[in-house]
Structure 1
Amino acid sequence: MKNSNGNTKLILLHPYIQKQGSSSRLWLLGFVSLFTLAFLLTLIYTRESTSTAAAATTVASSSLAGAPLPTTVINILIHYASTSNSSFHMSYAEIKQISDVLRKCSSPCNFLIFGLTPETLLWKALNHNGRTVFIDENRYYAAYMEEKHPEIDAYDVQYTTKLSELHELLASTKKHIQNECRPVQNLLFSECKLGLNDLPNHVYEVDWDVILVDGPRGEWPDAPGRMSPIFTAGVLARSKKMGVNAKTHVFVHDFYGEAERVCGDEFLCRENLVEASDTLGHYVLERMDANSFQFCSNQTLPKASTS
């Protein structure tokens, strides 16, 4: 730099000062490097921990999804379902009887229910990990239930029967028992008046382990009655494929009704009735040979027409 006299002077820094500046820069560089390393290690550890936790959660969820419901949970569900305010719900004893069969069913259990009732969500929950399908006569209610509860698999069916025609329909079925009303067949192609042939195709392909007839609703003369569901349940149970569980449990609710009792005797058979009360009948049916032409062992085949 220049002084006041215009002469230029050279200013030299002391070696100590230069050394002190280099040392500060080295300390700063070391601190930044150490901080960066610590940050990277923390990031790697956090990611590994998160991945491990996520994997553990996934495994636990998968294990829980595949496990049966604990007995305590089942008992609580049954208790609250049977003590609801609805006047149409099943009793504790009725629900417990069906629940016990579902628990013993091989997994996954195929459960077919005729009727959307106050127990609909309960049946879906009790058949945990199994296949549960509902059939109802009211298409609007079936659509409503599926929209409100997407986990519900519900379909509607149009019944063509009338409760007042009970005995006429039984006579017609007996008349054609060796043809379209035989006990072993694919109902999808059946012309039997009591056979339901307009259900979704896959309903006929599934080998049902448990079938509950709790619909359609109504006990007045023009109501459809439960003749068709009981007949259909009897055919589905007897038409199961080889290599699967040969037995099918069929429950008929409101067992005090004439149609329920009479059709139960005709198509589910008294020899298969293992338990009954005024409100619930429990049948256990075996698979039949394709050449079988009578539902019950004590039935008499109609005489062939001579015309």
Structure 2
Amino acid sequence: MKTILHYATSTVVPQQSRAEISVSFDVLQSCSGTLSGCNFLVFGLGHDSLMWSSFNPLGTTVFLEEDPKWVQTVLKDAPNLKAHYVRYQTQLIQADELMRTYRSEPYCLPAKAYVKGNTKCKLALTTLPEEVYERQWDLIMIDAPRGYFNEAPGRMGAIFSAAVMARARTRPGVTHIFLHDVNRKVEKMFAMEFLCRKYLVKAVGRLWYFKIPSAANTTDVNSDDRFC
């Protein structure tokens, strides 16, 4: 009820369009009837965070945000949200170089890639909260960090790490990954490299929706040197 009141009395609208939101909403609804709900990881903390959390009432929804002051601002008004400050190690200006060179590091390749503690791979997000590494995520929304100026972190690491976590899944089912702002070069390039066109099941507006199977549950993702 508090979420309804919040949006009913606010002039601020979510960052995504209604059509884009509906894609993720439909997937969240599919597991809302289970006893545990969904494990939902969201890169980004915004005006839509209360909405995402309310769509997953029985599950665990965790938000990752690059701006510590913004985390404090949001949690002041919505203290029940699970939000963490994350410091990213990359800059958008490095995107082309990271794409050119990642195959030269074995621990960036599918056969050996992992996220937690993987300091050998520059694309692996090694500074995330422990909870992120401990859980297996049913849904991952990538709508951050910022990626529209050279010094911004860019979403290269988020896309790569989401792909690696999805491939490492041991729970039944696939990992649903939603990537926003695919009208931009870097998001599109890294999605095609790590999330794969063959796993793209829906494109609405600036949102792409992927279903990524785990390496344990299918031979389709068992390439040692290619994600796609």
- TM tier, shorter chain? 0.7 to 0.9
What SS class does the counterpart of residue 165 from structure 1 fall into? helix
What SS class does the counterpart of residue 153 from structure 2 fall into? coil
Q: Name which structure has the greater RCO, CA cutoff 8 Å, separation 6+.
A: 2
Find the counterpart in structure 1 of residue 118 from structure 2.
190
**Take 1:110 and 1:283, find their aligned partners in 2: how far apart are those partners?**
16
Structure 1 unaligned regions, length at least 5: 1-72, 298-307
Q: Indicate how the Cα distance of structure 1 residues 264 and 287 shifts in structure 2: closer, same or farther if over 3 A, else same.
A: same
**Take 2:193 and 2:125, find their aligned partners in 1: how far apart are those partners?**
17
Q: Indicate how the Cα distance of structure 1 residues 143 and 87 shifts in structure 2: closer, same or farther if over 3 A, else same.
A: closer
Q: RMSD of the alignment, in Å?
A: 2.4
Q: Indicate how the Cα distance of structure 1 residues 164 and 228 shifts in structure 2: closer, same or farther if over 3 A, else same.
A: same
**Take 1:110 and 1:246, find their aligned partners in 2: how far apart are those partners?**
13
Find the counterpart in structure 2 of residue 256 from structure 1.
183
Find the counterpart in structure 1 of residue 89 from structure 2.
160
Percent identical pairs in the alignment equals 38
Find the counterpart in structure 2 of residue 18 from structure 1.
none
- CA shift for structure 1 position 150: 1.8
Structure 2 unaligned regions, length at least 5: none
Counterpart AA for 1:92: R
Q: Is the contact made by 1:268 and 1:295 (CA closer than 8 Å) also made in structure 2? A: no
- CA shift for structure 1 position 255: 1.2
What SS class does the counterpart of residue 275 from structure 1 fall into? strand
**Take 1:162 and 1:229, find their aligned partners in 2: how far apart are those partners?**
12
**Take 1:295 and 1:197, find their aligned partners in 2: how far apart are those partners?**
22
- CA shift for structure 1 position 87: 6.6
**Take 1:295 and 1:273, find their aligned partners in 2: how far apart are those partners?**
17
- CA shift for structure 1 position 104: 0.7
Query: Which entry has the higher C-alpha Rg, 1 or 2?
Result: 1
Q: Is the contact made by 1:213 and 1:230 (CA closer than 8 Å) also made in structure 2? A: yes
- CA shift for structure 1 position 98: 0.6
Find the counterpart in structure 2 of residue 98 from structure 1.
24
- CA shift for structure 1 position 291: 6.9
What SS class does the counterpart of residue 166 from structure 1 fall into? helix
Find the counterpart in structure 1 of residue 80 from structure 2.
151
Aligned length, in residue pairs? 216
Find the counterpart in structure 2 of residue 233 from structure 1.
162
Q: Is the contact made by 1:253 and 1:280 (CA closer than 8 Å) also made in structure 2? A: yes
Out of 71, 81, 94, the residue aligned to residue 142 of structure 1 is 71
What TM-score does the superposition give when structure 1 sets the normalisation length?
0.65
- 1:49-85 Cα offsets, whole Å, 9 max, x none, are xxxxxxxxxxxxxxxxxxxxxxxx9xx96xx68xx74
- CA shift for structure 1 position 171: 1.7
What SS class does the counterpart of residue 180 from structure 1 fall into? helix
What TM-score does the superposition give when structure 2 sets the normalisation length?
0.86
Range with bigger deviation, 213-222 or 262-271:
213-222
Question: Relative to total residues, which structure has the larger strand share, 1 or 2?
Answer: 2
Out of 211, 214, 221, the residue aligned to residue 287 of structure 1 is 214
- 1:127-178 Cα offsets, whole Å, 9 max, x none, are 11100000011122123323432211111111121112111011222222xx
Range with bigger deviation, 166-175 or 267-276:
166-175
- 1:19-42 Cα offsets, whole Å, 9 max, x none, are xxxxxxxxxxxxxxxxxxxxxxxx
What SS class does the counterpart of residue 187 from structure 1 fall into? coil
Q: Is the contact made by 1:136 and 1:215 (CA closer than 8 Å) also made in structure 2? A: yes
1:210 aligns with 2:136: no
- CA shift for structure 1 position 292: 4.7
- The aligned runs of 1:20-31 (5 Å cut-off) are none
